[in-house]
Amino acid sequence: MVSDGSTATGNAPGGALFVGSDVYRESAFGKHHPLSIIRVSGVVDICEMLGWFSPGQFRDSPRASTEQLSAFHDRDYIEALREADARGSVEKSVRDRYRIGTMENPLFPGLFRRASTAVGGSILAAELAMDGRIVFHPSGGTHHGRRERASGFCYFNDPVFAILTLLEQGLERVLYVDLDAHHGDGVQIAFEEDPRVLTVSVHEEKRWPYSGPVEDRGHGRARNLPVPKGFNDDELDFLVERAILPLATEFDPQAIVITCGADPLEGDPLSKLSLSNGGLWQAVEKLVACCNRAVVLGGGGYNPWTVIRCWSGLWGRLSGQTIPGKLPRPAQKFLGSLDCDLIDEEDVPDDWISRLVDEPNGGPVRSQIEALPALVLN
């Protein structure tokens, strides 16, 4: 299904673009936080080693201004975060009200710049997508952020800004699909009363933030597909084909925003799902074909090997590259140098070092999964 009589996204004029920033090369979150690992900077490095950036394809992310941030977030919260970053500390009342300076959402040098750059990148990605492009912004995907506070490692909610930007450009129907292991609660709450936006979240059941049961439709503009542990490639493809694409056909979006967290992958320490990166890539490719404007964001992911390989390969697929069977030696050396407090060295298989593509992880489509389409389509 292609909206507005246009061609499918893979044939969109101008080709795919990548939005990024050197701000993500700076250390963040503190030494032992799950997000202290190398992620997006490693994606850029691997893609450069593979020669996957043509001139003009990589676009530097600007920082969102206070005025831009205020389009969604409360001004008091924005200023509290800015001041906390400048001071390097928060009072208890500020911490309790805004959930900043906690173990979950710690303070670290450059926090405000980093968070506002993620928002600026998603705004830019949406503006670029309006030309009929796929735009990949792996630094985005902070889908838990609330209007008035931080939540779940997310200080601002950049997917909200991508959607708002598309709406401000005059679009009347934007589809948001969240493939992260955790429910896209912040985005759902932001748009659950807006008839111009349909949010669809595929996430692990009984996993933080413990929201998004299948019967939760917000105020009618949300659909949730909670899945069990061990969720496999064939089950994801089943839900894409039998639930998400039919929802898209009915909604007829003029643009799609996708949060493609890498935490549903086998080997992620903060989920129990079992997707291969190829399974995620296939899902995203099918979804971006819904219409001729697509913003693809990153999201969660707490295993640096699976995150970097997933998002590097996703960029390769979206930009029409040939993915090598074996990585060149410099890429292998880089992946071999990574570490992670949550992953034991002996648990790192050779394929995480030498290859981008995971072995497929198919399997039976369980009855719980088979029942979901009927529950969200009626």
Show the tokens assigned to 66. 């206070």
Q: Is the pLDDT of residue 181 over 60?
A: yes
Distances (CA, A) of 166 to 45, 77, 116, 155: 30, 24, 18, 22
Catalytic residue among 143, 144, 182, 203: 144
Nearest to residue 152, comparing CAs of 34, 310, 24? 34
SS3 for 179? coil
Q: Is pTM, for the whole model, over 0.75?
A: yes
**For residue 8, pLDDT beyond 60:** no
Lowest-confidence pick of 6-10, 21-25, 109-113, 173-177: 6-10
Return d(Cα 327, Cα 45) in angstroms, integer.
Answer: 13
- Whether residue 302 has pLDDT greater than 90: yes
Q: Is 144 a catalytic residue?
A: yes
Q: How much is the pLDDT for 338?
A: 97
Q: pLDDT tens, 124-172? A: 999 999 999 999 999 999 999 999 999 999 999 999 999 999 999 999 9
pLDDT class of 14 with cuts at 50, 70, 90:
low
Contact 216, 347 (CB under 8 A): no
Residues 66-83 have pLDDT tens digits of 999 999 999 999 999 999
For residues 38 and 182, give the distance between their C-alpha atoms in angstroms, rounded to a whole number. 20
Residue 12 has pLDDT above 80, yes or no: no
CA distance 216 to 220: 9
Q: What number is the average pLDDT over the span 253-264? A: 98
Contact (CB, 8 A) for 245 and 1: yes
All structural domains of the chain, each given as residue ranges with its CATH number in brackets, are: 3-377 (3.40.800.20)
Angle 181-185-187 from CA coordinates, rounded to 5°: 110
Task: Tell me which amino acid residue 362 is.
Answer: G
Helix, strand, coil % (nearest 5) of the chain?
A: 40, 10, 50
Tokens of 133: 């492009």
> Does residue 2 register a pLDDT over 50?
no
Distance CA 356, CA 278 (A): 9
Average pLDDT over residues 219-243: 97
User: Stretch 283-300: mean pLDDT, rounded?
Assistant: 97
Can you give the length of the chain in residues?
378
Q: State how far the Cα of 264 lies from the Cα of 281, in Å rounded to an integer.
A: 12
Average pLDDT, the chain: 95
pLDDT > 90: percent of the chain: 95
